[in-house]
Structure 1
Amino acid sequence: MRAKICKITDLFTALNAEDAGADFLGFVFDDKSDAYISPLRVEVIAQQIKAARLVGVFRDEDLKTVNHWANKIDSDYVQLDGNEDAEYARKVDRPVIKSFRYDDKFSVERAMVYPAEMIRLDFGGQLMLGFDRKKAIRDICAVNKSVILAGDVDPKKVKKLCLKLQPYAFDTPIGMNGAYGIKDFLRHLKGNVQDEVIRHYGYSMA
């Protein structure tokens, strides 16, 4: 199971996440976010990352600014978290991850036609409080793209969620890892889930 660790704000955390097995490292370039990190700092951090893919996270930013910093830090993906339309996304220089809030207004059709390589579904606190899993499974399958599941994920429950929803990857912010630590969280996500999927389905999701 692939893992995306987001809201990274320092080199130590980035290296720790990569060493623990994170596949994607997310850096928030929205200066209104409490997780904001200067692109200049990410440029330095990026030089130390060996294998994990870098994701620059933007929200309703000027397109020229997005492309400038995406190219400057050599990010693998640009994640769009705002109201960016399809025309905007087509002009992004890097492969796009588009975020959608998963609620009653979520549209499978819109996600399918949006020019993004991956779709990120933000469940917020629903993953902890409960939601219509059958509908979520239908929607994830219907999108017909790689889906990244985001939300408040308890490592003790991630195995069950993975088996039911089978996303391409899980996205979790640094803040959710406080009680377990990044390494413990990724051990739950990648190790336990992988073993259970192989036992359940007979194949790996790596």
Structure 2
Amino acid sequence: MKVKICGITDIDTAVTAVSCGADAIGFVFAESKRKIDPAEARKIVDQLPAHIEKVGVFVNETKERIAEIISEAKLTMVQLHGDESPAFCESISVPVIKAFSIGSEQDLSKITGYKSQWILLDSPSGKYRGGNGTSFNWEILSGSKFPDKKVILAGGLNEENVERAIRIARPFMIDVSSGVETDGKKDKQKIKSFIDKAKSLS
């Protein structure tokens, strides 16, 4: 099982996550308590192995600004968490992870209009688009088939529930942020425990 650790803001935590087996590191450039400056993200990216995906998270940002940050921070992917259209997603120069808020089975129908190979399924928006630490009913995904998509499951995941989430949703990758934090800060032991549990289920 592939794992993305999102909301990274410092080199030490990023290196720890990678050493524990993380496959992707997420940097939030939208409004969030985990928001990072592109220059700081670049310092972290420069310390990461080439095979690790460096993902920038954006919400309703302009195409021009996304392009600037891709270049400045040396991102390999972007995650679009807003109301971006299929055409907008297709205009981005690196692979796009299109995020969808899933509250009911009907919400899955929104996915069909997007050509993005990667999709992220998250809980409905709270204060921020994503990163709110709440889960949705994974049973909605039971039996769902997106044969041409790489599904990333997000929303309220932690060491205690990740096994059940993977068993039900069968995603390609899982994405965690608040579930590996203590008092709003990334917790290295929680990162290790989460990745170990997820990888044991592969």
Q: Same fold (TM over 0.5)?
A: yes
- 2:141 pairs with 1:136: yes
- 2:180 pairs with 1:177: yes
Gaps of at least 5 residues in structure 2 are 124-132, 183-188
Kindly indicate whether the alpha-carbon contact (under 8 Å) linking 1:117 and 1:146 is maintained by their aligned counterparts in 2. Answer: yes
Q: Report what 1:168 is aligned to.
A: 172
Residue 71 of structure 1, CA deviation:
2.4
Moved over 4 A (4+): none
Kindly indicate whether the alpha-carbon contact (under 8 Å) linking 1:3 and 1:24 is maintained by their aligned counterparts in 2. Answer: yes
Change in Cα spacing, 1:111 to 1:71, as seen in structure 2 (3 Å) is same
Change in Cα spacing, 1:126 to 1:150, as seen in structure 2 (3 Å) is same
Change in Cα spacing, 1:106 to 1:80, as seen in structure 2 (3 Å) is farther
- 2:10 pairs with 1:10: yes
The residue type paired with residue 35 of structure 1 is R
Kindly indicate whether the alpha-carbon contact (under 8 Å) linking 1:98 and 1:116 is maintained by their aligned counterparts in 2. Answer: yes
Distance 1:4 1:106 in 2: 26
The structure number with the bigger radius of gyration is 1
SS in 2 for 1:147: strand
Q: Report what 1:150 is aligned to.
A: 154
Distance 2:25 2:33 in 1: 17
Kindly report which structure 2 residues correspond to 1:45-84, keeping only aligned pairs within 5 A, or say none.
45-50=44-49, 51-84=51-84
Kindly indicate whether the alpha-carbon contact (under 8 Å) linking 2:138 and 2:168 is maintained by their aligned counterparts in 1. Answer: no
The residue type paired with residue 159 of structure 2 is P
The residue type paired with residue 172 of structure 1 is V
Residue 101 of structure 1, CA deviation:
0.4
- 2:42 pairs with 1:40: no
More displaced stretch, 111-120 vs 60-69: 111-120
SS in 2 for 1:126: coil
Residue 132 of structure 1, CA deviation:
5.9
Which one has the bigger helix percentage? Answer: 1
Residue correspondences, number: 186
Gaps of at least 5 residues in structure 1 are 195-206
Distance 2:91 2:143 in 1: 31
